[in-house]
């Protein structure tokens, strides 16, 4: 699968506006979904993709020729049933551009990742005492 070619973006706005118009709309809604699910997250570019950090990395996303890739920075065993119909590989979920993007599910995944990172932060802090 082919990535949609863009120059190295400086920020998420630049990444989104470099995509085709129909993909921009999806990416903007995805961005809004992630920001709503993780309002304290910092929006960054990492590995030339939009990424969100809160007490560690939460998720990345990228536009591809035929799909949007979501890269949650953790294990998603809790979502196996919900994700069964999507093509996946280790650390990647592919949402086809010709199908409805499951923004509600993406929101749940991001909230799950926020909770995971908060729990990890508490654990790391307890080790330092």
Burial class of residue 68, CB neighbours in 10 A (0-12, 13-18, 19+): buried
The total domain count for the chain is 1
The answer as to whether 2 is a domain residue is no
The answer as to whether 4 is a domain residue is no
CATH assignment at residue 59: 3.90.1150.200
pTM of the model: 0.88
Nearest in space to 84 (alpha carbons), one of 66, 105, 103: 105
Strand, helix or coil at 74?
Answer: coil
Q: Which domain holds residue 40?
A: 12-128
pLDDT tens track, the chain, 129 positions: 455 555 789 999 999 999 999 999 999 999 999 999 999 999 999 999 999 999 999 999 999 999 999 999 777 788 989 999 999 887 899 999 999 999 999 999 999 999 999 988 787 777 776
């Amino acid at each position: 699968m082919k990535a949609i070619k863009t120059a190295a973006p400086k920020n998420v706005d630049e990444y989104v506006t470099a995509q085709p118009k129909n993909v921009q709309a999806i990416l903007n809604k995805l961005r809004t979904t992630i920001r709503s699910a993780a309002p304290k997250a910092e929006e960054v570019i990492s590995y030339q993709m939009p990424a969100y950090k809160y007490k560690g990395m939460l998720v990345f996303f990228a536009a591809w020729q035929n799909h949007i890739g979501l890269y949650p920075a953790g294990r998603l065993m809790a979502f196996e049933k919900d994700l069964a119909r999507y093509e996946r590989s280790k650390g990647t979920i592919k949402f086809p551009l010709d199908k409805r993007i499951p923004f509600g599910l993406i929101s749940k995944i991001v909230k799950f990742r926020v909770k995971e990172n908060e729990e990890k932060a508490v654990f790391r802090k307890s080790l330092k005492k």
